[in-house]
Amino acid sequence: MQRALVIGHRGGIGAALAAALTARGLAVTGLGRAEGLDLTRPESLAVLGTLDGPFDMVLMATGILAPPGAQPEKRLAAVTAESMAQVMAVNAIGPALVLGQVARLLPKPTRSVVAVLSARVGSIGDNDLGGWHSYRASKAALNMILRGAAIELARSHPQAVCVALHPGTVATPFTAGYAGRHPAVPPADAAANLLAVIDGLTPADTGTFRDWRGDVVPW
Residue 101 has what pLDDT? 96
Residue 184 has what pLDDT? 82
Distance CA 40, CA 86 (A): 8
Residue 171 has what pLDDT? 87
- Domain of 150 in residue numbering reads as 3-211
- pTM score of the predicted model: 0.93
Q: Is residue 217 part of a domain?
A: no
Q: Is residue 75 part of a domain?
A: yes
Distance CA 133, CA 141 (A): 12
Q: Is residue 218 part of a domain?
A: no
Task: Kindly report, residue by residue over 62-101, the tens digit of the pLDDT.
Answer: 999 999 999 999 999 999 999 999 999 999 999 999 999 9
Q: Is residue 13 part of a domain?
A: yes
Q: Is residue 219 part of a domain?
A: no
- Cβ proximity of 131 and 182 under 8 Å: no
3-state secondary structure of 59: strand
Q: Is residue 87 part of a domain?
A: yes
Distance CA 2, CA 12 (A): 23
Residue 178 has what pLDDT? 58
Q: Which strand (E) or helix (H) includes residue 31?
A: strand 27-31
Task: Kindly report, residue by residue over 138-188, the tens digit of the pLDDT.
Answer: 999 999 999 999 999 999 999 999 999 999 999 876 655 655 566 789 999
Distance CA 166, CA 177 (A): 19
Task: Kindly report, residue by residue over 194-213, the tens digit of the pLDDT.
Answer: 999 999 999 999 999 999 99
Residue type, 72: P
Angle between helices 133-156 and 81-88 (to 10 degrees): 30
Task: State the Cα angle at 64 between 123 and 23, rounded to 5°.
Answer: 90
Distance CA 52, CA 207 (A): 25
Q: Is residue 127 part of a domain?
A: yes
Task: Kindly report, residue by residue over 15-65, the tens digit of the pLDDT.
Answer: 999 999 999 999 999 999 999 999 999 999 999 999 998 999 999 999 999
Q: How many domains does the chain have?
A: 1
Question: Mean pLDDT across the stretch 122-142?
Answer: 95
Write the CA distances from 79 to 30, 71, 74, 139, integer angstroms: 34, 10, 9, 16
Residue 112 has what pLDDT? 98
Distance CA 41, CA 47 (A): 11
Q: Is residue 93 part of a domain?
A: yes
Neighbours of 23 (CB within 10 A): 10
Residue 108 has what pLDDT? 93
Pick the closest to residue 61 from 39, 83, 84, 85 (CA basis). Answer: 39
For residue 160, the domain's CATH number is 3.40.50.720
Max Cα distance, the chain (Å):
52
